[in-house]
Amino acid sequence: MTQHVTEKDVRDIATYTRIALSDEELPQMTKDLNDIIESLKPITEYDLEGVEPTFHPIGSLSNVMREDVETTSFTQEEALSNAPKQQDGCFLIPAILGGGDQ
């Protein structure tokens, strides 16, 4: 089997992606990555002469989102009308970082 990536390559990739690999994991990861690359080898056997590259599998995709149009919305009173707790015109929620008594 061809070795596509070396242990140094895998170590560099792990460092770049901030994945901690121990010295014991490095040989297995190198083998796994080489196996994955080797499994993709049949793709290189297709005749792609004259095939234009595409950047999206659907082809010429256009923006399907509607225009961002400003419309009337809830008033502050309507938005707060079902709030279990409110204070000074705002939603009052329990503190999640500590230091609060709510």
pLDDT digits (tens, 9 = 90+) for 29-65: 999 999 999 999 998 889 989 988 777 666 666 777 8
Tell me the one-letter amino acid at 76: Q
Look at residue 95 in the predicted model and tell me its pLDDT. Answer: 85
pTM: 0.48
Residue 98 reports pLDDT greater than 80: no
In angstroms, what CA-CA distances link 72 with 13, 69, 75, 89? 51, 10, 9, 19
